[in-house]
Amino acid sequence: MQLEINVVDAFTDTVFKGNSAAVVITDNWLSDDLMQSIAFENNLSETAFMVLDDDGIYHIRWFSPFTEIAFCGHATLASAFVLFNKNPHLNCIKFSAKAVGILTIVQTDDGKIQMDLPNTKPEKVDNIPDSLLAGLSIAPVEVYKNAQAYFVIYNAESDVLTVARDNEQLKQLAPLDVVVTCQAMSADYKNYDFISRYFWPANGGDEDPVTGSAHTGLAPLWAERLGKNHLVAYQASKRGGILDCVVAGDRVMISGNAVQYMTGFITIEES
């Protein structure tokens, strides 16, 4: 059996930047074990699998090298990029996923891909877990939480950029991951409203390069703090990524660029 695979760098217009995702489209679902094995072999943040139904909706699932993920933003953007390239006549794609329902994806006039996602604004945490405090070298100013992660607020960009982490401590927060973030204030980040980094030792690895799903919580958090609904975010990993975010009630529109890295085939011996 041969399966086409596309690898796309998301939230960037430059190869080797942003966050890489693999995309596999099949007529019917592969077994869970096979999808997990492919994701492990790819060793990317996520591999997305899609199956088209009779109503023209793409059912999508996401796997890190370790486990299936409830929702992944950058792999959704990468999947839409592949579908738009394969079907130039398309101007709208609908994805369906168990955890987030129907997602509508469009291409904007400036060529970006825009995802209409649920607003997952986090709530403030008064009792900060010991594992979170022990897992970060710099103490939080404030901590928030949603169903995906703890959101650690810092006052300085240098704290976000230099904080060290103890992955064994952070793993104890499972199934939640950790976001560190602050307002962008220096000349180096003058084009952005806030910056962040994302640590996920419990679910995917060390540090995720760019995390679209986290921005469904980050964008409404910073929209409230900054008094504006349209924000530009930078995820300050080694690869880096740019996300345009618009908070609209219970939805968050997240847009970004993507660029093709590779197209190939997976060869699997059928038993």
Region of 101 (left: φ > 0; alpha: ψ -120 to 50; beta: rest) is: left
Q: Determine, yes or no, domain membership for 118.
A: no
Encoding tokens for residue 246?
Answer: 């618009």
Read off the pLDDT of each residue in 19-37 and give the average, rounded to a whole number: 97
Q: 79 in a domain, yes or no?
A: yes
H/E run at residue 265: strand 258-267
271 versus 214: the higher-pLDDT residue is 214
112: pLDDT strictly greater than 70: yes
In a domain, 47, yes or no: yes
Q: What is the per-residue pLDDT across 220-264, written as a single tens digit (0 to 9) for each?
A: 999 999 999 999 999 999 999 999 999 999 999 999 999 999 999
Burial class (CB in 10 A: 0-12, 13-18, 19+), 259: middle
**How many residues are present in the chain?**
271
Which are the contacts of 189, defined by CB distance < 8 A and separation ≥ 6?
157, 195, 234
Q: Are residues 59 and 157 in the same domain?
A: no
State the first-to-last Cα distance of the chain, in angstroms, to the nearest integer: 10
Going 234 to 228 to 226 to 248, the CA torsion angle's sign is: negative
Asked if residue 127 and residue 105 are part of one domain, the reply reads: no
**Domain span including residue 64:** 2-112+256-267
163 and 214 part of one domain: yes
Task: Please give the average per-residue pLDDT across 174-201, as a whole number.
Answer: 96
Task: Tell me, yes or no, whether 25 lies in a domain.
Answer: yes
Please give the average per-residue pLDDT across 148-165, as a whole number.
Answer: 97
Residue 252's H or E segment, with its range, is: strand 251-256
Distance CA 258, CA 64 (A): 19
Give CA–CA dist 163/134, Å, rounded: 12
Residue 205 has pLDDT above 90, yes or no: no
| Average of per-residue pLDDT across 73-97 | 95
Average pLDDT, stretch 18-27? 97
Regarding whether 62 and 91 lie in a shared domain, the answer is yes
Would 117 be classed as within a structural domain?
no
Residue 249 phi, psi dihedral angles, 5° rounding: 65, -125
Each residue's pLDDT tens digit, 142-151:
999 999 999 9
| DSSP character at residue 238 | S
Catalytically annotated residue among 46, 157, 224, 269: 46
Confidence (pLDDT) at 204: 66
**CA angle in degrees (0–180, nearest 5) for 143-68-132:** 20
46 in catalytic set = yes
- CATH number of the domain residue 242 falls in: 3.10.310.10
Domain count, the chain: 2
Same-domain status, 106 and 180? no
CA 53/CA 51 separation, integer angstroms: 7
Residues 183 and 93 in one domain: no
96 belongs to a structural domain: yes
Question: Average of pLDDT values for 145-165?
Answer: 97
> Within a domain: residue 169?
yes
SS3 state of residue 84? helix
Pairwise CA distance, residues 55 & 59, whole Å: 11
How many C-beta neighbours within 10 Å does residue 246 have? 16
Q: Residues 94-120: what's their mean pLDDT?
A: 93
Longest distance between any two alpha carbons in the chain, whole Å: 58
